[in-house]
Chain A
Amino acid sequence: GNSVTQMEGPVTLSEEAFLTINCTYTATGYPSLFWYVQYPGEGLQLLLKATKADDKGSNKGFEATYRKETTSFHLEKGSVQVSDSAVYFCALRTVDSSYKLIFGSGTRLLVRP
């Protein structure tokens, strides 16, 4: 079946530190992969995506590379800011007829000044 596993949080970093949030997946076929971000009290915002192997998604200084050989899509940022504090969700879009999103359980990031 399809599933997404994320590293458990919370992840606490100081401002300007390097961020990595691990994400691995299990899927039938070759799904598209996404990172969504959820700020307190809000819905989900698409952060970045990759649709095929070796694609790199990037946005707002965040990056993630679709690694088929390791079934991973780790999120990275070189220098985090306090405003990056949020919950981050890794997700895949299934390649069956539903094309629904399967989410990981989320990783809370707290960035301290």
Chain B
Amino acid sequence: DAGVTQSPTHLIKTRGQQVTLRCSPKSGHDTVSWYQQALGQGPQFIFQYYEEEERQRGNFPDRFSGHQYPNYSSELNVNALLLGDSALYLCASSSGRGRLNTEAFFGQGTRLTVV
């Protein structure tokens, strides 16, 4: 079992550009959540996808959007990048929704640097 895999591992972008990050969940998992971890901070919830729909969203602007595919893999898109978007982006997968949701497993993350 490959666990949760994310790509790329590192990325450097310029302010104003757009970026797409990818996540493949752990085998058997159907729910994907994305978190942003700024340097020296704990992860912050961005949004969660289940059955190809965004189910829950944290306090992030509309520049952050996502997608989930029928095979449960997911993308995180960030438009009009700001310097403050520099962070480690973590994908977490789990199974089920709501009260049936199992514990989350995290990927290694994508380190995004905006210059």
Interface residues of A (CB under 8 A from B): 4, 34, 36, 42-46, 49, 89, 91, 97-106
Chain A contact residues, majority secondary structure? strand
Given A43-B90, A44-B43, A106-B41, also A99-B107 (CB < 8 A): no
**Pairwise interchain contact B58-A43, C-beta atoms closer than 8 A:** no
- The answer for the CA separation of A101 and B90 in the assembled complex, in Å, is 12
Q: What is the number of contacts between chain A and chain B, taking CB atoms within 8 Å? A: 57
- The answer for the CA separation of A101 and B97 in the assembled complex, in Å, is 14
**Pairwise interchain contact A43-B41, C-beta atoms closer than 8 A:** no
Please give the number of chain B residues whose Cβ is less than 8 angstroms from any Cβ of chain A in the complex: 27
**Pairwise interchain contact A101-B104, C-beta atoms closer than 8 A:** yes
- The answer for the CA separation of A43 and B89 in the assembled complex, in Å, is 9
Considering only residues 69-113 of chain B, those with a C-beta below 8 Å from chain A are 90, 92, 97-99, 101, 103-109
In the complex, whether B68 has a CB less than 8 A from a CB of chain A is no
- The answer for the CA separation of A34 and B99 in the assembled complex, in Å, is 16
**Pairwise interchain contact A42-B108, C-beta atoms closer than 8 A:** yes
**Pairwise interchain contact B105-A46, C-beta atoms closer than 8 A:** yes
**B43 contact set on A, CB distance < 8 A:** 44, 89, 101, 103
- The answer for the CA separation of A30 and B55 in the assembled complex, in Å, is 22
**B99 contact set on A, CB distance < 8 A:** 99
**What are 25 A-B contacts with C-beta separation under 8 Å?**
A34-B103, A42-B108, A42-B109, A43-B6, A43-B108, A43-B109, A44-B43, A44-B90, A45-B106, A46-B105, A97-B98, A99-B101, A100-B33, A100-B45, A100-B48, A100-B58, A101-B33, A101-B43, A101-B45, A103-B42, A104-B42, A105-B40, A106-B40, A106-B41, A106-B42
Distance from B21 Cβ to chain A, minimum over Cβ atoms (Å): 13
Distance from A101 Cβ to chain B, minimum over Cβ atoms (Å): 6
Distance from A107 Cβ to chain B, minimum over Cβ atoms (Å): 10
Distance from A75 Cβ to chain B, minimum over Cβ atoms (Å): 15
**A49 contact set on B, CB distance < 8 A:** 103
